[in-house]
């Protein structure tokens, strides 16, 4: 194992064991290096690597801290990687979304409150019967973001937020080029909402699958 990798593993072990907790400040570099049996240079490289993935927060003039370790913070690094996707990988993102989002929607159906349902209803009503494509896509993103939040699973919610970005352009493109897309999207959103409001997880899961698969199938058929 490379020296830097060993240093990373030792710091990670301190966090997973509870020796270091979210928000804790790391000991002074010289003290921590001695405690872990590492050189200061390898420890420094490990800290730099762990700060890049948001596990550690290096504050100049203050010290190095363990971050909150919350899912949105840790998944920022994944979001950075996703930003470099190529157009030919959009289908892959949609396929992953088709696996995760129906599950989140089913979970939301079990937990959603009347206030959440009413908020979703007002969101859909705000569009009107014939929205332009940009408004429809923005509404679509917010609709799915709120549903994911209702799942109560912060990791799943953050993953879906990360995956939504690469598929946005495909949704706009579909709305501009495929006849009946706006009407279909609005109808499917209403069906998802009704299943959520009725607390029917499997019906909500099915409609979410149909909804996302429609974009995926359309994109796969585009030359």
Q: In sequence order, what DSSP letters do the residues of 62-107 get, joined into one string?
A: TEEEE----HHHHTHHHHHHHTT--GGGHHHHHHHHHHHHHHHHHH
pLDDT at 189: 94
Tokens 């959440």 appear where?
116
pLDDT, position 88: 56
Domain ranges across the chain: 3-68, 76-221
What is the C-alpha separation between 58 and 222, in angstroms, rounded?
46
Beta-bridge mates of residue 59: 63
User: HEC string of 116-127?
Assistant: HHHHHHHHHHCC
**Structural tokens at position 179:** 């006849």
Q: Which pLDDT score, from 0 to 100, does residue 86 have?
A: 47
The CATH class given to the 76-221 domain equals mainly alpha
Q: How far apart are CA 84 and CA 106, in angstroms?
A: 30
Length of the chain (residues): 223
pTM (2 decimals)? 0.62
Average pLDDT of adjacent 10-residue blocks, the chain of 223 residues: 78 89 91 91 88 85 86 58 52 82 96 97 90 85 94 88 68 62 89 97 95 78 62
In this prediction, residue 188 carries a pLDDT of 93
CATH class, 3-68 region: mainly alpha
- What are 64's two structure tokens? 């190095």
Distance CA(59)–CA(63), nearest Å, equals 5
């Amino acid at each position: 194992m490379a020296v830097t990798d060993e240093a990373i593993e030792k710091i990670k072990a301190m966090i997973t064991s509870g020796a270091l907790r979210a928000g804790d400040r790391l000991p002074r570099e010289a003290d921590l290096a001695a405690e872990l049996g590492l050189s200061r240079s390898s420890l420094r490289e490990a800290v730099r690597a762990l700060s890049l993935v948001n596990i550690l927060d290096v504050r100049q003039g203050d010290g190095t801290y363990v971050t909150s370790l919350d899912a949105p913070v840790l998944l920022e690094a994944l979001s950075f990687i996703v930003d470099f996707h190529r157009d030919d990988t959009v289908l892959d993102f949609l396929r992953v979304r088709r696996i995760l989002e129906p599950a989140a929607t089913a979970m939301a159906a079990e937990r959603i409150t009347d206030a959440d349902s009413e908020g979703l209803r007002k969101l859909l009503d705000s569009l009107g019967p014939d929205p332009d494509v940009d408004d429809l896509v923005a509404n679509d993103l917010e609709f799915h973001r709120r549903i994911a939040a209702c799942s109560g699973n912060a990791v799943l919610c953050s993953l879906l937020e990360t995956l939504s970005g690469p598929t946005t352009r495909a949704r706009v493109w579909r709305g501009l080029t495929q006849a009946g897309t706006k009407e279909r999207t609005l109808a499917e959103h209403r069906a998802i909402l009704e299943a959520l409001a009725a607390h029917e997880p499997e019906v909500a899961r099915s409609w979410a699958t149909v909804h996302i698969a429609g974009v995926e199938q359309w994109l796969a058929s585009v030359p």
